[in-house]
Structures are given as structure tokens and as C-alpha cells.
Amino acid sequence: MSSLERSDVARLAALARIDMTDEDLDRLSGQLAAIVDSVAKVAEVAGQDVPATSHPIPMSNVHREDVVRPSLSQEAALSSAPEAEDGRFRVPQILGEEA
């Protein structure tokens, strides 16, 4: 597996919605490449015949009764929002000028 390049980090940061300055990329790219190189060894041991474990204690079909129970009021739910209006979360424009 190839190591992580600076351009990969820039692309991944954009996918993860984290702005990065050139200085951020300089600082983090080398560290991330070193981490990726060191974790890549997992591929050495895990053969085709080994099943994957997603969950440490197997559980399935966890259900509860579908009953109405008290929940947050609209006011409480909006109380921590950076901006709210008319009982809704208010956000900046969704589409850019170029759209």
C-alpha cells in the first residue's frame, strides 16, 4: 500500500469538511504518513479465511416497544443552535454563487 501524500491529505480534509492551510498540511501530512505506514501491517496477518468482527459482544435484533414517550420541546431542541428562526435551525445559504 502506498503511503499518504500531501495531496491525499488535502483531498481527505476536504471530504471530511475541515479547512486546512498550507501550514496545517505541512505539519500533519508527515505525521499521517508515518501513522499509515505503521498501521498497514494489519493486512499482513488477516487472511481470507478469517471472518471480520465488527462488534465485540455479538447481539442481534435489539428491539423496544414502539411507544410515544416524552421528548425535548421545540424550544429546548433549538436552545443550543448557533442560529434559529421560526422554530427552525437557521443555516447560511446552501448553494454557492457558482451553482
Partner 1 sequence: MTDWTRASAAHMVAALKSGEVTSVELTQAHLDRIAAVDGAVHAFLHVDAEGALATARDVDAARAAGEELPELAGVPIAVKDILVTQGMPTTAGSKILEGWEPQYDATVTRKLREARMPILGKTNMDEFAMGSSTEHSGYGPTHNPWDLDRIPGGSGGGSAASLAAFEAPLAIGSDTGGSIRQPASVTATVGVKPTYGGVSRYGAIALASSLDQLGPCARTVEDAALLHEVMGGHDPMDATSLDEPVPSCVDAARQGREGDLSGVRIGVIKELSGEGYQAGVERRFHEGLDKLKALGAEVVEVSCPSFQYALAAYYLILPSEASSNLAKFDSVRFGMRVEKGTVERTMAATRAEGFGDEVKRRIILGTYALSAGYYDAYYGSAQKVRTLIQRDFAAAFEQCDVLVSPTTPTTPFKLGERLDDPLAMYLNDVATIPANLAGIPGMSLPSGLADEDGLPAGFQILAPAHEDARMYRIGAALEKELAKDWGGPLAAQAPELEVSK
CB-based contacts of 18, cutoff 8 Å, min separation 6: none
**Of residues 19, 22, 85, 86, which one binds partner 1 by CB under 8 A?**
19
Cβ atoms of residues 34 and 53 within 8 Å: no
| Residue 43 in the binding site for partner 1 (CB under 8 A) | yes
Residue 4, all three cell numbers: 499518504
By CB under 8 A, tell whether 6 contacts partner 1.
no
Q: Which of 22, 51, 68, 86 binds partner 1 (CB under 8 A)?
A: 51
**Cα distances (angstroms) measured from residue 43 to each of 36, 46, 47, 59:** 12, 6, 8, 27
Binding site for partner 1 (CB under 8 A): 1, 4, 8-9, 12-20, 24, 27-28, 31-32, 34-36, 38-47, 50-57, 59, 62, 64, 72, 76-77, 79-83, 89, 91-96
